[in-house]
């Protein structure tokens, strides 16, 4: 049987309960029988889903929202110290628990797989959750995005496996103690929290150091940062006499699990890998080599827990995607609109290459929104160079999220670099106008890609409406 409620989580109050990570933990606690409450800046479908599970969700932040009998207040790193509900909790002596500690407590007594990496965490976690569920293993999971199939980002399952997305952005993944850890890639990002690649490597080493004795690290063999991490981890394990199994995967000649072939088939891929038991071929129902590699990481991790690899490979084909990860939004006038969460240059390049492969003779048109001023300052030029892979792009203003503006940092950092790389790019501050521009450019056979981690996702529907209103040829 799965564990019950962690200590002090009988009546938790979540500040920012509508967020991807926070809502997942809240859902699992509600499904385990907790009296969940919380608040968020605005109402949403996520809030409604939580209410359907019996949670109380307030709109707006107010000290009065914190119930007198709250057993704990759960916060993420995005919650500011001056939040009135957080201040009230401290005044009243209510325990304040970070999101990562709450998630770690939910994994106690189970067999956790923690999925880490600069990119691909949500997709890989989702692939594992869907495939294991398809096999009848009834996993619990906590994911940073809603699955297409079940339409949720978290669930309390009756099985012994817990699959969790492990976030490195604020070092919160140091709290987990997985039986299997996946590291997909290691790159510099989250510049507000990490000053160098050395800090990133140290952080990932700490995460791997939390793997349970006798556990497994599944790590990419094709990415430079991941290879460096593998070398460090192996040297440290040998020095400390640590019982850790390291399994590498990828197309590199020295990979323990070799990716032999990735054959694009429109918006799917056929993948062949060599494992200890021989070659296994399976279908990945999303396009792009990077998603194929995510599926192989999921396959290797499941096998490390004793799940039959051939059965898991077949079940991986049941994964049809997660919201915002090359998610088809519709088609109008022969133009297909796809939504991408990519906001780091590596992710942007991978998704653009995937759509380029699916577009055939059609063009790839992008509506891009840079995410965070700090990221744009450090990586904006690389973002612009990535946009040179598109046939044409329109770039919106920087989406600030939790950050205050940085003087001199605007989306011009991106557009200037894109033009220098030969891209056809323009800037537009007004979102409806930007959507209309893309719709006006598009012709039958083209793909329009809304790209970024902010509210650009809302513009796919606007593009489709503009296309539908356009007179037929």
Taking only the tens place, the pLDDT of each residue in 273-317 is: 999 889 999 999 887 888 899 999 999 999 999 999 999 999 998
- Which member of 27, 46, 121, 346 is catalytic? 121
Please state, in angstroms and rounded to a whole number, the distance separating the CA atoms of residues 473 and 93. Answer: 67
**329 catalytic residue (yes or no):** no
**199 catalytic residue (yes or no):** no
118 is an annotated ligand-binding site residue: yes
pLDDT digits (tens, 9 = 90+) for 347-371: 899 889 888 888 888 999 999 999 9
- Which member of 46, 122, 268, 457 is catalytic? 122
Q: Place 323 in a pLDDT band, splitting at 50, 70 and 90.
A: low
* 193, pLDDT greater than 80: no
* Residue 44 confidence (pLDDT): 87
Mean pLDDT throughout 408-421? 96
Place of tokens 């817990």: 162
* 1, pLDDT greater than 50: no
Tokens of 235: 């040297």
261 is an annotated ligand-binding site residue: no
* Residue 321 confidence (pLDDT): 66
Q: Place 147 in a pLDDT band, splitting at 50, 70 and 90.
A: low
141-145, 239-243, 313-317, 462-466, range with the lowest pLDDT: 141-145
Please state, in angstroms and rounded to a whole number, the distance separating the CA atoms of residues 143 and 164. Answer: 6
Q: Place 145 in a pLDDT band, splitting at 50, 70 and 90.
A: low
pTM over 0.95, yes/no:
no
175 is an annotated ligand-binding site residue: no
* Residue 38, SS3 per DSSP: strand
- Which member of 85, 165, 187, 428 is catalytic? 165
**122 catalytic residue (yes or no):** yes
CATH of domain 12-97: 3.40.50.720
123 is an annotated ligand-binding site residue: yes
* 149, pLDDT greater than 50: no
Where do the structural domains in the chain lie, given as residue ranges? 12-97, 109-316, 325-469
Q: Place 167 in a pLDDT band, splitting at 50, 70 and 90.
A: confident
Instruction: State which CATH number among 3.40.50.2300, 3.90.190.20, 3.30.70.260, 3.40.250.10 fits the domain covering 325-469.
Output: 3.90.190.20
* Residue 455, SS3 per DSSP: helix
27 is an annotated ligand-binding site residue: no
Question: Who wins on pLDDT, 428 or 287?
Answer: 428
Instruction: Return the CATH fold of 109-316.
Output: 3.40.1190
């Amino acid at each position: 049987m799965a564990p019950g409620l962690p200590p002090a989580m009988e009546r938790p109050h979540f500040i920012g309960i509508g967020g991807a990570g926070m809502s997942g933990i809240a859902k699992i606690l509600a499904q385990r029988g907790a009296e969940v409450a919380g608040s968020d800046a605005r109402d949403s479908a996520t809030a409604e889903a939580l209410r359907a599970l019996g949670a109380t969700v307030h709109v707006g932040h107010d000290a009065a929202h914190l119930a007198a009998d709250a057993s704990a207040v759960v916060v993420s790193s995005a919650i500011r110290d001056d939040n009135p509900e957080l201040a009230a909790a401290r005044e009243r002596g209510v325990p304040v628990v970070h999101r990562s500690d709450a998630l770690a407590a939910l994994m106690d007594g189970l067999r956790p797989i923690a999925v880490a990496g600069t990119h691909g965490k949500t997709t890989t976690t989702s692939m594992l959750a869907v495939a294991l569920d398809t096999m009848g293993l009834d996993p619990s999971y906590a994911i940073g995005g809603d699955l297409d199939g079940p339409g949720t980002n978290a669930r309390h399952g009756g099985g012994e496996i817990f699959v969790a997305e492990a976030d490195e952005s604020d070092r919160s993944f140091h709290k987990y103690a997985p039986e299997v850890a996946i590291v997909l890639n290691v790159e510099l990002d989250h510049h507000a929290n990490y000053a160098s690649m050395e800090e990133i490597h140290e952080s990932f080493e700490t995460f791997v150091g939390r793997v349970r004795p006798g556990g497994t690290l599944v790590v990419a063999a094709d990415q430079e940062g991941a290879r460096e991490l593998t070398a460090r981890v192996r040297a440290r394990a040998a020095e400390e006499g640590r019982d850790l199994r390291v399994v590498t995967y990828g197309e590199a000649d020295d990979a323990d699990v070799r990716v032999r072939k990735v054959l694009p088939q429109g918006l799917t891929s056929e993948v062949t890998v060599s494992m200890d038991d021989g070659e296994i071929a399976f279908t990945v129902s999303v396009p792009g080599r990077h998603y194929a590699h995510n599926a192989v990481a999921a396959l290797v991790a499941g096998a490390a827990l004793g799940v039959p690899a051939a059965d898991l490979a077949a079940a991986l084909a049941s994964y049809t995607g997660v919201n915002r990860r090359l998610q088809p939004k519709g088609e109008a006038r022969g133009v297909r609109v796809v939504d991408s969460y990519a906001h780091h240059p590596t992710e942007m390049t991978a998704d653009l290459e995937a759509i380029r492969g699916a577009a055939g003779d059609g063009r790839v048109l992008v509506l891009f929104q840079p995410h965070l001023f700090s990221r744009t300052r450090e990586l904006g030029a690389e973002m612009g160079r990535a946009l040179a892979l598109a046939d044409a792009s329109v770039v919106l203003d920087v989406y600030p999220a939790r950050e205050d503006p940085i003087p001199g940092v605007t989306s011009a950092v991106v557009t200037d670099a894109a033009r220098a790389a030969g891209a056809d790019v323009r800037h537009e501050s007004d979102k409806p106008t930007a959507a209309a521009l893309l719709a006006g450019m598009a012709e039958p056979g083209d793909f329009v890609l809304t790209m970024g981690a902010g509210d650009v996702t809302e513009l796919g529907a606007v593009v489709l409406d503009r296309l539908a209103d356009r007179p037929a040829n």
